[in-house]
Amino acid sequence: MARFLLRRVGLALVTLLLLSMIIFLMANVLPGDVGRRILGPFADPRAVAALNHQLGVDRPLVIQYLSWLGGAVHGDFGRSLSFRAPVSDLLSRALVNSLKLAAVAFVMVVPLGILGGIVASLNRDKFLDRLISVTSLSGIAMPEFVTGIVLILLFGITLRIFPITATAPAGSGPLTQIYYLIMPSLPLVFVLFGYIARITRAGMNEALDADYTRTAYLKGLSRGMVIRRHVLRNALLPTVAVVATQTGYLIGGLVIIEFIFNYQGIGQLIFTAAQQKDFPLLQAGVLVVGIVYLTATLIADVLYSLLNPRIRYGGAE
């Protein structure tokens, strides 16, 4: 197990290194130099050169990359060009916000999705199954900005149950913050419910049809016992993997939701950085999202192997 973990972490680090190279190259292969892009086409060439030197972008690419990487390892991503503040400060604040939103959505959608999948499977081909199928498909099909805006109109403006912004007033307690985050996370719940419910249903159906389930029934166990003791732990394995990969999406891919609900998350920050040609911020932001994805899949792998003895204890000896 220790070896397995070590190998997985090692692999994740290599992936991260490759990612950092790709991000760095993408930001640097664009035509023109950085100083010119910042100062505009009519700026004095001397000013451009001076700025380039000041930013260090007149050095060879490899040196630039290594110095950027060296800083990144210590948490120093340089200064943001547009916000005129350390990138790490901006990012960590945005990341915390994103994590809060993701956590609220996660806590709502995971139990709901798994429950939906289980209920659907236990009522296979009956009314409840069809209902859950239709609901989850419509959830996947509807874009977040549509559901987001409908929610704002309905609950924020007409019914006035929830605030229309996601950001709680400064200094609010955790409960208030959660209250502000409920409505923004609902569109995410709609999207993810379908994925989780469907994969859970498929896993359940497979486990219910398995020979070992027949063995359990023929031992004289009741249906409830068979499902709790024999079906669930095998059925939920694929769900674990799906849930974890969707965590990455919950943190990195929420530009629109953050925009609609005016929330300072990492998605919006990266979007702004791209608009403003703020390369230090853009590079660091994408890298952080990459780290989040990798961590999520790493956790999924570890969880999966913890639940699956065939991976934990290797093949037949």
- Give the number of residues in contact with other proteins, rule: CB under 8 A: 24
Among 146, 228, 229, 262, binds other proteins (CB under 8 A): 229
Cβ closest to other proteins, residue 53 vs residue 214: 214
219 binds other proteins, rule: CB under 8 A: yes
Angle, vertex CA 264, rays to CA 248 and CA 103, nearest 5: 40
Distance, in Å, from the CA atom of 36 to the CA atom of 52, rounded to the nearest integer, reads 8
CB of 247 to other proteins, least distance (A): 24
Contact string (CB under 8 A) for other proteins, positions 248-287, x = contact? ----------------------------------------
Residue 4 structure tokens: 């397995």
> Helix-strand-coil percent breakdown of the chain, rounded to 5?
75, 0, 20
Looking at residue 169, the DSSP 8-state letter turns out to be P
212 binds other proteins, rule: CB under 8 A: yes
> Which amino acid appears at position 14 of this protein?
V
216 binds other proteins, rule: CB under 8 A: yes
CA 281 to mean position of chain CA atoms: 19
Residue 277 structure tokens: 């040609």
Structural contact between residues 136 and 194, judged by C-beta atoms closer than 8 angstroms: yes
CB of 218 to other proteins, least distance (A): 5
222 binds other proteins, rule: CB under 8 A: yes
Among 56, 89, 233, 275, binds other proteins (CB under 8 A): 233
Positions touching other proteins (CB under 8 A) are: 210-212, 214-222, 229-230, 233-234, 307-310, 313, 315-317
